[in-house]
């Protein structure tokens, strides 16, 4: 489909139709997996580290959904690192105090090496973020945050950061472009762990950066090429196949999450239920801290104790079991990634485990 027609389509439709081969007799419906490291000279690709049609198809879809130009990576961490490479030596990065532990780790490592400076803030406090952005090179944030599920005002933070000349990058992994589009709200770059909701089947490691600026996209592409952080063709194919069903998966998972939040409210085993009102990630704080929370994740049959999220299956974990998790995250916080199973089955399994520890 011609790019000009994309603006006329609903995002749910774009996820299905973008990135397809041209409609012609006997043409395949899908871009095939291009398993090659070498191309015949004289064209645009030249070598396997520079490009692959399987990546391009994935990038076309995610770029259309986010409203920019997409560069895919071998992992979400590779995508995060490429964005941080845009910061000049010694530049200040403003970031949420509650973030994905990998993001915090790479920021602290680079700060310790003197490559950048970092200031952690409460991302839900827009005024505090705006004040911290003075003199910053980059304002980086997630919304909702992982695993605290705080929500940031993308438009207000972006406007304040731009007044101070800072770039704004938003990790949109939890919300996906079907629930929020940060570029349309003023952000300069969007990052995804495509491992999660975009792929959706717990079988891919991949990341992506999207920006509306060709200049920034070229810089990100150069970082990928020089660092060699390229996705494998099969992973790109699987991630694209996952995106074809993103709308229906997310609709079901979000509906399940909202119903579970309703049923969890007031349970005797819980101190708190955190849910931003959208998406399929819920965090619960188990009364009594680490020991009962650990008991909870060991008592279920359907819910799988695992560290990732965004798959069709429901998973959960106590986040403070990881030493790198922020100390301000409660010991008893359990992050739930709600899948697409029948909600009554999920509730029966989870409620039984909660009743046992109450």
Choice among 20, 110, 196, 224 that is catalytic: 196
pLDDT in tens, 175-232: 999 999 999 999 999 999 999 999 999 999 999 999 999 999 999 999 999 999 999 9
Instruction: Spot the catalytic one: 49, 97, 115, 263.
Output: 49
pLDDT over 90 at 285, yes or no: yes
196 among known catalytic residues: yes
- Return the structure tokens found at 23: 């409609």
Catalytic residue among 20, 60, 69, 100: 100
Quick one: pLDDT at residue 8?
Answer: 87
344 belongs to the catalytic site: no
Residue 171: active-site member: yes
* Spans of all domains in the chain: 3-244, 247-357
| H or E, element range at 139 | strand 138-142
Q: What is the DSSP string of 146-208?
A: TTT-----HHHHHHHHHHTT-EEEEE-TTT-TTT--GGGGT-SEEEEETTTTTT-SS----EE
Arch. (CATH architecture) of 247-357: Alpha-Beta Complex (3.90)
pLDDT digits (tens, 9 = 90+) for 161-173: 999 999 999 999 9
Percentage of the chain modeled with pLDDT above 70: 98
Helix H, strand E, coil C: the string for 42-93 is CCCCCECCCCCHHHHHHHHHHHHHHCCEEEEECCHHHHHHHHHCCCCCCEEE
Between the CA atoms of 69, 240, 196 and 355, what dihedral angle is there, to the nearest 10 degrees?
140
Of 135, 101, 99, which is closest to residue 120 (Cα–Cα)? 99
CA distance 66 to 209: 10
Has domain 3-244 been given CATH number 3.40.1190.20? Answer: no
Same fold across 3-244 and 247-357: no
Query: Are the C-beta atoms of residues 42 and 16 closer than 8 Å to each other?
Result: no
pLDDT tens readout for residues 53-86: 999 999 999 999 999 999 999 999 999 999 999 9
Residue 275, pLDDT above cutoff 70: yes
Distances (CA, A) of 301 to 77, 111, 121, 349: 31, 42, 38, 6
Of the residues 171, 188, 294, 331, which is catalytic? 171
Question: Could you tell me the two tokens for 68?
Answer: 């920019």
Concerning whether 275 is annotated as a catalytic residue, the answer is no
Per-residue pLDDT at 3 exceeds 90: no
């Amino acid at each position: 489909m011609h790019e000009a027609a994309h603006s006329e389509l609903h995002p749910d439709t774009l996820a299905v139709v973008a990135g397809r081969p041209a409609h012609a007799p006997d043409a395949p419906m899908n871009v095939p997996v291009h398993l090659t490291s070498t191309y015949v000279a004289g064209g645009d690709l030249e070598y396997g580290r520079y490009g692959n049609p399987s990546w391009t198809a994935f990038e076309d879809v995610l770029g259309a959904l986010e409203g920019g130009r997409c560069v895919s990576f071998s992992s979400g961490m590779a995508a995060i690192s490429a964005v941080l490479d845009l910061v000049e030596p010694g530049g200040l990065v403003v970031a949420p105090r509650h973030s994905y532990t990998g993001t915090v780790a790479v920021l602290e490592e680079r700060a310790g090496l003197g490559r950048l400076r970092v200031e952690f803030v409460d991302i839900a406090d827009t005024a505090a973020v705006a004040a911290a952005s003075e003199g910053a090179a980059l304002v980086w944030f997630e919304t909702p945050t992982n695993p605290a599920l705080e929500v940031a005002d993308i438009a207000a933070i972006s406007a304040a950061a731009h007044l101070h000349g800072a770039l704004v990058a938003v990790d949109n992994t939890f919300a996906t472009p079907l629930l929020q589009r940060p570029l349309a709200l003023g952000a300069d770059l969007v990052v995804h762990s495509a491992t999660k909701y975009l792929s959706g089947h717990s079988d891919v490691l991949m990341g992506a950066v999207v920006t509306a600026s060709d200049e920034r996209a070229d810089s990100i592409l150069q970082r990928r090429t020089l660092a060699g952080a390229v996705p494998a063709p099969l992973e790109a194919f699987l991630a694209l196949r996952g995106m074809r069903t993103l709308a229906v998966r997310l609709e079901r998972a979000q509906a399940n999450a909202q119903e579970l939040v309703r049923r969890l409210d007031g349970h005797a085993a819980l101190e708190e239920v955190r849910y931003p009102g959208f998406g399929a990630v819920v965090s619960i704080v188990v009364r009594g801290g680490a020991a009962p929370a650990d008991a909870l994740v060991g008592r279920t049959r359907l819910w799988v104790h695992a560290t990732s999220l965004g798959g069709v299956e429901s998973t959960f974990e106590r986040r403070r079991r990881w030493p790198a998790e922020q100390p301000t995250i409660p010991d008893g916080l359990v992050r739930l990634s709600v899948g697409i199973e029948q909600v009554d089955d999920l509730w029966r399994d989870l409620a039984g485990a909660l009743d046992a520890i109450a």
